[in-house]
Amino acid sequence: MISTWTRAAGRTCRAVRGAPAPATYGLIALCTLIFALGPASGLVPGYGSGEALLSAQRTYFRHWGVVPAELFDGPAGAALTPATALFVHGSWVHLLGNMLFLFVFGAMTEERMGRVEFTLFYVGCGYLALLGYAAVNAASEQSLVGASGAVSAVLGAFLYLFPRARVTSLLPFLFFLPLRFPAWVVLPFWAALQWLAAGQASDGPGVAYLAHLLGFGLGFGYAWVRYGRTTRVKAAPAPVTEGEKQP
């Protein structure tokens, strides 16, 4: 088993190094590997089943995720959890939703920024998005995990850098027909949906829409300040399935 994982990891590393967007694909590979080895994937028998598995998941998410009530009044190590939470996901749907958006929008954004700047941008904006969510919900005992804040920042930067790039969207009220719209139509519409959902969200477990909005705003603001109006690029079309199901 260990040798199989080692060979698979070696092949993945070689593929990432030769990819046109190594940071984007590396982040996707890292998130997928961490999820596969964690209790939420159901792939590791050592976590048990039934109640034992649920207990392992709760402990895992609380250890690596952001618990707002502990972030500001807990141990010093809690300050690292907004960074570790970016690489932890709660289910296969959660993971695949985030990684799909990162795959579609990350490569072009990374190509514009460069791999080092893009990686720092991704982690930094994701950290701040989760930190902002925790500050607003400082009394919450719920664990928050997922890359949505960081991925939303990539969407915000993409909107500023490639506003005219045409993306494919599947709209439920149009029977999921694939339609192509410019990014300046699709992404603000997505952000508006997050805003509406955030206003109706409860304090219990669910989607952290506020983290999405904070990440989106941070990403757009970073690209605006960092690159300015003269560097905006008219990009080739990029496909995407519109909508995100989990944080």
The end-to-end CA distance of the chain, in Å, is: 32
| CA 98 – CA 197 distance, rounded (Å) | 18
Q: Which of 140, 143, 148, 152 is catalytic?
A: 148
Active-site residue, selected from the candidate residues 89, 140, 152, 212: 212
Task: Judge whether 148 counts as a catalytic residue.
Answer: yes
Angle subtended at Cα 17 by Cα 158 and Cα 80, rounded to the nearest 5 degrees: 65
Residue 82 one-letter amino acid: P
**CB distance 158 to 174 below 8 Å:** no
42-45 contact pairs (CB < 8 A, 24+): none
Q: Specify whether 212 is catalytic.
A: yes
For residue 133, what are the contacts with CB-CB under 8 A and spacing of at least 6? 66, 68, 144, 149, 208, 210, 211, 214
* Three-state secondary-structure class, residue 143: coil
CA-to-CA dists, residue 93 to 97, 119, 145, 199, angstroms: 6, 24, 13, 23
Give the residues across from 166 on adjacent strands.
182
Give the integer Cα–Cα distance in Å for 127 and 178.
Answer: 33
Fill in the DSSP letter of residue 206.
S
What is the C-alpha R_g of the chain? 18
Which residues are identified as catalytic?
Answer: 148, 212
